[in-house]
């Protein structure tokens, strides 16, 4: 039986207000969203479990107020091991930003999206969708890497892929055609290296956020794929730079081949080879912007999300080491799904809590994580789904 189910069986959920009134009562409880909703009370903003900083010297950084200061655009990227609550934390942060007056976009770059499920509304389709039920400038976007890749692939096939190669061969420009073949342009797009999906997705996001149409958005929250994908994403800009760089080196040759074709076919029928290379150049530029964005501590923060288990803490430690290596700014780690102090009548809960406290202690002592501000987020008694639940979670986590 799942631990969660066991907990539901043994625990006695209480309202937030009763928790605040009886915090010393020796019994088993955990943070009840359902009771709060059922009693039709507004979630109490003051939670029973204070988010604590384990690094006292940077206590002030943990304040949510710091995250809402200023109207210049800031990016928050939430990432971590699969299933730890990245989407819930990202969605609740976006809701809280919007509630605090920031026009906000929450973007999922995880090919296995769950943003729609988290908001309990359809955010698919690859475009910005206004989040219903808040009456605030909050938009969701589930990037559709397959569609983006397909767009690019068909454009390059129409303009500069195999069609161009055939024409060049027929023109006796075999050498350039060979070089085009060597570029494996089609292969790059048909069998992309791991992580290309996300890189394209992020470059698509850059397109959105660069456009003046979207300049009003002051907070962009990314819900990323699990650690492995995200790490590949972080190293991808350099990889892409090398791959596309190879193509770019041939730009001149392609351009001269184009003019040779032009002289035979005339301008109208010229396969627009340069279009394809320009698209690659744009992709490379956007990739460069992503790389710069990752490293700018003024505008970007990566928030690690984890749960209090040894395995998750170890993975978070490795994640932070990799992020540091890539110079990605990190200040906070959210430890999600923490059981509140247990009581004598729930053995399972007290054992589980002790186990979690050991994992929290690991964070304190971990050379990679000890310097981060730790935000402790409680385990709620129901799944976090829909606006009221996200608002509730936001008030608990982001303080
Ligand atoms: N603090 C919490 N208390 C109770 N349930 C939670 C909590 N945080 C997350 N959940 C639930 O756990 C499940 C997984 O959460 P979520 O989708 O946010 O994780 P994720 O890390 O984004 O997952 P994935 O790696 O699959 O994208 C969801 O059903 C969510 O409602």
pLDDT in tens, 143-187: 876 766 666 556 556 555 555 455 445 444 455 455 445 555 555
Residue 391 CB neighbours (<10 A)? 20
Residue whose CA lies nearest to ligand 1 atom number 5 = 383
Please tell me which of 206-210, 235-239, 322-326 the model is most confident about, judged by mean pLDDT: 322-326
The mean per-residue pLDDT over the stretch 209-224 comes to: 85
- Contact call for residues 75 and 296 (beta carbons, < 8 A): no
- What are the Cα distances from residue 356, in Å, to 50, 274, 316? 16, 58, 15
395 is catalytic: no
- Contact call for residues 338 and 376 (beta carbons, < 8 A): yes
**In this predicted structure, what is the pLDDT of residue 55?**
37
Q: In angstroms, what is the span from residue 9 Cα to ligand 1's centroid?
A: 20
Q: Is the ipTM of this complex over 0.95?
A: yes
Ligand 1 pocket residue status of 385, Cβ below 6 Å = yes
Of all atoms in ligand 1, which is nearest to the CA of residue 223?
22
Token readout for 200 is: 């394209």
Domain ranges of the chain: 1-49+343-365, 148-198+229-290
pLDDT tier at 210 (50, 70, 90 boundaries)?
A: confident
Cα angle for residues 264, 270, 271 (degrees, 5° grid) = 130
Of all atoms in ligand 1, which is nearest to the CA of residue 305?
21
Ligand 1 pocket residue status of 307, Cβ below 6 Å = no
- Contact call for residues 152 and 268 (beta carbons, < 8 A): no
Q: In angstroms, what is the span from residue 12 Cα to ligand 1's centroid?
A: 22
- List, in sequence order, the alpha helices (H) in the chain: 3-10, 16-21, 33-38, 64-68, 86-99, 115-119, 145-159, 162-170, 174-183, 185-190, 196-210, 227-249, 251-265, 273-295, 310-325, 347-365, 387-397
- Contact call for residues 129 and 140 (beta carbons, < 8 A): yes
Q: Which of 110, 197, 223, 395 is catalytic?
A: 110
Ligand 1 pocket residue status of 226, Cβ below 6 Å = yes
């Amino acid at each position: 039986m799942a631990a969660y189910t066991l907990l539901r069986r043994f625990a006695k959920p209480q309202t937030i207000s009763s928790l605040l009134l009886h915090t010393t009562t020796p019994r088993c409880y955990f943070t009840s969203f359902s009771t709060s909703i059922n009693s039709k009370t507004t979630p109490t903003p003051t939670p029973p479990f204070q988010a604590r900083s384990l690094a006292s010297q940077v206590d002030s950084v943990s304040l949510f107020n710091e995250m809402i200061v200023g109207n210049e655009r800031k990016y928050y990227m939430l990432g971590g091991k699969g299933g730890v609550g990245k989407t819930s934390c990202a969605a609740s942060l976006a809701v809280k930003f919007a509630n605090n007056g920031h026009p906000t976009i929450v973007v999922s770059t995880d090919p296995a999206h769950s943003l729609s499920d988290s908001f309990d509304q359809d955010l698919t389709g690859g475009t910005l969708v206004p989040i219903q039920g808040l009456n605030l400038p909050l938009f969701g976007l589930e990037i559709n890497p397959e569609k983006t890749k397909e767009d690019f692939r068909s454009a390059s096939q129409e303009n500069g892929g195999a069609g161009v190669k055939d024409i060049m061969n027929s023109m006796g420009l075999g050498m350039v055609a060979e070089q085009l073949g060597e570029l494996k342009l089609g292969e790059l797009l048909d069998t992309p290296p791991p992580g290309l999906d996300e890189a394209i997705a992020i470059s698509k996001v850059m397109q959105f956020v660069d456009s003046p149409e979207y300049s009003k958005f002051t907070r962009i929250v990314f819900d990323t794929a699990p650690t492995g994908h995200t790490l590949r994403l972080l190293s991808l800009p350099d990889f892409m730079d090398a791959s596309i760089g190879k193509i770019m080196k041939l730009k001149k040759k392609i351009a001269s081949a184009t003019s040779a074709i032009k002289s035979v076919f005339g301008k109208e029928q010229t396969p627009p080879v340069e279009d394809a290379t320009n698209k690659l150049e744009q992709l490379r530029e956007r990739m460069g912007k992503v790389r710069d964005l990752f490293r700018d501590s003024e505008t970007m923060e990566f928030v690690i999300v984890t749960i209090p288990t040894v395995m998750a803490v170890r993975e978070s430690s490795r994640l932070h080491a990799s992020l540091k290596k890539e110079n990605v700014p990190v200040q906070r780690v959210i430890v999600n799904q923490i059981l509140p102090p247990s009581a004598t009548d729930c053995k399972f809960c007290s054992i589980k809590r002790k186990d979690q406290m050991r994992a929290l202690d690991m964070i304190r002592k971990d050379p990679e994580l000890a310097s981060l501000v730790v935000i402790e987020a409680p385990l709620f008694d129901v799944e976090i789904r829909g606006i009221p639940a996200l608002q509730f979670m936001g008030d608990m986590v982001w303080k």
